[in-house]
Structure 1
Amino acid sequence: MQEQTQIFGIRAILEAINAGETIDKVFLQKGLKGDLFSELEFALRQHSINSSYVPVEKLNRLTRGNHQGAVAQISPIAFYDLEDLVSQVMESGKTPLFLLLDQLSDVRNFGAIIRTAECTGVDGIIIQKKGGAPVNGDTIKTSAGAVFKIPICKVDHIKDAVFYMQASGVKVVAATEKTDDTLYDIDFTEPCAIIMGSEDRGINPSTLKVVDAKAKLPLLGEIGSLNVSVACGAFLYEAVRQRLK
């Protein structure tokens, strides 16, 4: 597996999309017009590919080539289909443990979480197509290569994954301070999925409304929160502790 590579130029990116390449994100030049550019915008929407509009200076920093107003990042991994992964894990006979990341934005936190998830036997990580950290070179490095050893799925909305987990008999537990229950009050020995929120906003309020349980970490100091990768490690190892009993 290679680290994330870039392709640039509108036609080249369109060809990559049509060829089924796993494109992580596309940067588009603000204010650019034209039929070919509009065709690219349509293709990105049609395939639900994450994109953002940036000044031309940003594109110039990303590549020295003739980018024509568009630069794409190709993911170094292929993403799994959520339904296939859940079915596969449920049929394996083991007690499933999934991890849902609600728009986590820092690649180093993402990589650290992937590493911990692999070490704790997580069956799959589910992320949202838009708004989250990409799988790039920094992610690979911080994960110590674990990104290649654990299935990762992309969904349109985390809430969709929550509903699918629940319909499949998997309890969904949100890691949030907006509860009186601690993680030690939760039964992690049954099939479950843990949701971790973004560094600045936490879990989306609409998602919190539909989870099966909420749990927090007891904080005994003066600082009101932990780094999300540290908090995630605490939750996953509590699940491991209960399951090893």
Structure 2
Amino acid sequence: MLLYGRNPVMEALKDGRVSEVLLARGVEEAFVREVKTLAESVGGVRVRFSPRIELDQLAGTTQHQGILAEVEDMAWASMDDIMDRAEARGEDLVVVLLDGITDPRNFGAIIRSAEVLGAHGVVVEERRSAPLSPVVAKTAAGATSYLPVAQTKNLPRLIDQLKAEGVWVYGAAGEAAQELGKVDFSGKLALVIGAEGEGMRRLVREKCDVLVSIPVRGKVQSLNASVAAGILLYEATRGRK
């Protein structure tokens, strides 16, 4: 798989998943030295140069920041991986469940927020999600190298399994009466984010223990799904160690 963007490629290099790096001619020398030093430290990584237009054509975009890499395909984690991550840290589980997030940029931005704000993983439903792609990795700015991202065949069933493990499930809904700032997010928790416009499916909504809303003050009454996820994650994690 071709990966592009500076943060995603550098993190993949550190992770040992890169076989070759392609740099655009004219990229600043300091960055070239950084790439070469890291490639040499992990060993076996070829670094070569090409005209920027070749990178444009290979990536299918001009937003590659002057670097492409041939990497192993990104692998899906499992729910067990996510729970093991929380246990290894000695923390109560915080997991983000995505119901119908099909835009790869939203998906990548949510992964990035989840990793930055201390969640233990993200889970999507197999047939209702954007795939793990170069666009997702680029938007996640390297977070896919650190945060487990898992698939489930049936999100409502997974919610039932989590609740049986003592996980409290909070669903984001713009019309919910319970405002975000008044919610007690202690203990194990899952945050459910639905698709933009449609929100969560009815069955997923019904499985949630609590529906919460983000108070809005402006004329526009809705937020981008990834922005909403970031706000929810901040509120849910800010009181934790």
TM-score, structure 1 as length reference = 0.66
Other-structure match for 2:217:
220
Alignment of 1:137-216 (within 5 A): 137-216=134-213
Other-structure match for 1:104:
101
CA distance in structure 2 between the partners assigned to 1:84 and 1:116 by the alignment: 19
Query: What is the number of residues matched between the two proteins?
Result: 175
Aligned partner of 1:126 among 120, 123, 127: 123
Structure 1 portions without partners, runs of 5+? 5-73
Alignment of 1:34-45 (within 5 A): none
CA distance in structure 2 between the partners assigned to 1:127 and 1:184 by the alignment: 26
Deviation at 1:2, TM superposition (A): 5.2
CA distance in structure 1 between the partners assigned to 2:211 and 2:138 by the alignment: 32
Residues 187/99 of structure 1: CA separation in 2 closer, same or farther (3 Å cut): same
Deviation at 1:101, TM superposition (A): 0.5
Q: Deviations over 1:64-103 (max 9, x none)?
A: xxxxxxxxxx982221222453255346531111000001
CA distance in structure 2 between the partners assigned to 1:147 and 1:88 by the alignment: 14
| Corresponding letter in the other structure for 1:76 | D
Contact 1:181 1:215 in 2 (8 A): yes
CA distance in structure 1 between the partners assigned to 2:192 and 2:151 by the alignment: 14
User: SS of the counterpart of 1:225?
Assistant: coil
| Corresponding letter in the other structure for 1:185 | K
CA distance in structure 2 between the partners assigned to 1:193 and 1:110 by the alignment: 17
Other-structure match for 1:238:
235
**Bigger Cα displacement from structure 2, 78-87 vs 139-148:** 78-87
Alignment of 1:81-92 (within 5 A): 81-86=78-83, 89-90=86-87, 92=89
Aligned-residue identity in percent = 32
Structure 2 portions without partners, runs of 5+? 5-70
Q: Deviations over 1:184-232 (max 9, x none)?
A: 1211121101000011311111111111111000011111200111111
User: SS of the counterpart of 1:3?
Assistant: strand
CA distance in structure 1 between the partners assigned to 2:205 and 2:127 by the alignment: 19
Other-structure match for 1:3:
3
| Corresponding letter in the other structure for 2:187 | E
Residues 76/196 of structure 1: CA separation in 2 closer, same or farther (3 Å cut): same
Residues 160/90 of structure 1: CA separation in 2 closer, same or farther (3 Å cut): farther
Contact 2:98 2:194 in 1 (8 A): yes
Q: Deviations over 1:16-61 (max 9, x none)?
A: xxxxxxxxxxxxxxxxxxxxxxxxxxxxxxxxxxxxxxxxxxxxxx
| Corresponding letter in the other structure for 2:120 | D
Residues 241/110 of structure 1: CA separation in 2 closer, same or farther (3 Å cut): same
TM-score, structure 2 as length reference = 0.67
CA distance in structure 1 between the partners assigned to 2:127 and 2:72 by the alignment: 14
Which segments of structure 1 move beyond 6 Å, counting only runs of 4 or more?
A: none
